[in-house]
Amino acid sequence: HGDPLEKTTLEPLPALQTFYEVARAIEFSHERGIVHGGIAPSNVILSSNGHPHIVDFAVGQLKRHFDPNTAPPVADKGTDIDALHHLFRSLLSGKAFSLIAAGEIPPLRRVHPAADADFQNFARTSYPTASKMADEVARILQSLPSDYSSKMGLLDRYRLHERSA
């Protein structure tokens, strides 16, 4: 139980943590052959403890099954990766997801002076997998002063993931 991201404004560090967790979850689904096909702030629910939960998997496939005339095109992993880029920009810029999905690349809110250029580059770089996106966000966060980035707990989760991979 919680609120969708579209009704939530997050500070930069929780926004990055949310993005990291969503990207890892999408990669987990991709590894199992499941494509979401509709990632948007309305399909990410933040629980009361602040962790994101992705909802509405395979809505496009269900629509196609029941009404092939109104079904969206078949989604693939690339569709999810593009949507993750839009979600990242939306989370860190505070701009509406719909504007970003329409092609606008807004300036990201100031996360940290040392990381701003890295995050701008991230927003413009094409990544082959959701895992690579999560890894890059974690790498940038690792370059921040430890007292700043450790507050969110993401780096500990990243290190655990790297040991288990």
pLDDT in tens, 47-76: 988 889 999 876 545 555 555 565 555 668
What string of DSSP letters covers the chain?
-EEEGGG----HHHHHHHHHHHHHHHHHHHHTT---S--SGGGEEEETTS-EEE--TTHHHHHHHH-TTTPPPPP-HHHHHHHHHHHHHHHHH---HHHHHTT--PPPP-S-TTTHHHHHHHHH---SSHHHHHHHHHHHHHTS-HHHHGGGSHHHHHHHHHHH-
With a threshold of 0.75, does the pTM exceed it? yes
pLDDT in tens, 128-155: 999 999 999 888 877 776 555 555 455 5
